[in-house]
Structure 1
Amino acid sequence: MDKQDVIALFAHLEHGDGANFFALVADDVDWIVEGTHPLAGHYHSKKDFIAGTFQKLAKVLPDGVQLTVQNVLIDGAWAVVELRSMATAHSGLRFDNRYCWLCRFADAKIVEVRAYLDSWLVGELFRQNPIDDEAPT
């Protein structure tokens, strides 16, 4: 994957088209969301990652995460993607978060991710907008 391929892939997330983005994520992706907050964890599949993150965010952000790509760097099989979210929670909290996703590609699919973000803001989002379930380990 070159830089333009990665930008095109992440454009799906920017346009709210998670289905086309996740079509290029391996079913057995190894995805770590770093931190100590309700979304943090080590996810061993695409299904578990979506359930533990995007589905939880959808419960507290009525218009979704609303991601935009800020920067993309490529080094071999790895891409570093800087993202920003601009969203408003049910409680009125502005969820303006920044992310750094380190993504490893194989056969034009994401097979590994380490994601870094503002843990405090995620924790505050769920303190103000509690949901019933907890993130997996």
Structure 2
Amino acid sequence: MNTIENKAIVQHIHEELDKGNGRPFVESLADDASWKLEGSTAWSRTYQGKKAIREELLDPLFAQFAAPYRSRTERIIAEGDRVVVLFSGDVPTKAGKRYNNRYCYVYRLEGGKVKELTEYFDTALVQEALQPPTVVHAG
């Protein structure tokens, strides 16, 4: 895959996230993808594998939201297998907090799939607006 193809994949992911549709994002993850959340929050660590990303990060996070999550993509920059996205999001939590974070995602793609993702975000807001993660068991 070249720069243009990688950027197009990520652009599609973020166009859909901006509409509140996270399915293309999850479907784009390689089975052995890693997602690193920077900082020292209760959420900050590297999540290894698509299953762990869903069960240990996405499910517990979205369980705290009181409304559908939508983002607002501002800029996408690509070079080779790396794609950088600047965007923001705003959603109320079930605890009555406003989670209006700003992000910089650094993707590394391989074979049309997201292999690595590093997330930079407002860690103080995470500490203020979110509860520490707990694994949500589907069921």
| TM-score calculated relative to the size of structure 2 | 0.83
1:54 corresponding residue in structure 2: 58
What is the alpha-carbon distance in structure 2 between the residues aligned to residue 132 and residue 85 of structure 1?
A: 19
- Percent of pairs with identical residues: 25
Deviation at 1:65, TM superposition (A): 3.0
1:99 corresponding residue in structure 2: 103
Q: What runs of 5+ residues in structure 2 fail to find an aligned partner?
A: none
1:87 corresponding residue in structure 2: 91
- Kept in 2, the 8 Å contact 1:83–1:98? The answer is yes
What is the alpha-carbon distance in structure 2 between the residues aligned to residue 90 and residue 33 of structure 1?
A: 22
| Aligned residue-pair number | 131
What is the alpha-carbon distance in structure 1 between the residues aligned to residue 100 and residue 111 of structure 2?
A: 33
Q: Indicate the RMSD between aligned Cα atoms, in angstroms.
A: 1.9
1:1-137 to structure 2, matched below 5 A, reads: 1-126=5-130, 130=131, 133=134
State the AA in 1 paired with 2:50: K
What is the alpha-carbon distance in structure 1 between the residues aligned to residue 88 and residue 36 of structure 2?
A: 18
Deviation at 1:118, TM superposition (A): 0.7
| TM-score calculated relative to the size of structure 1 | 0.85
Deviation at 1:116, TM superposition (A): 0.6
38-47 or 94-103, larger mean C-alpha shift: 38-47
Q: What runs of 5+ residues in structure 1 fail to find an aligned partner?
A: none
The list of structure 1 runs, each at least 4 consecutive aligned residues, that deviate by more than 6 angstroms after superposition, is none
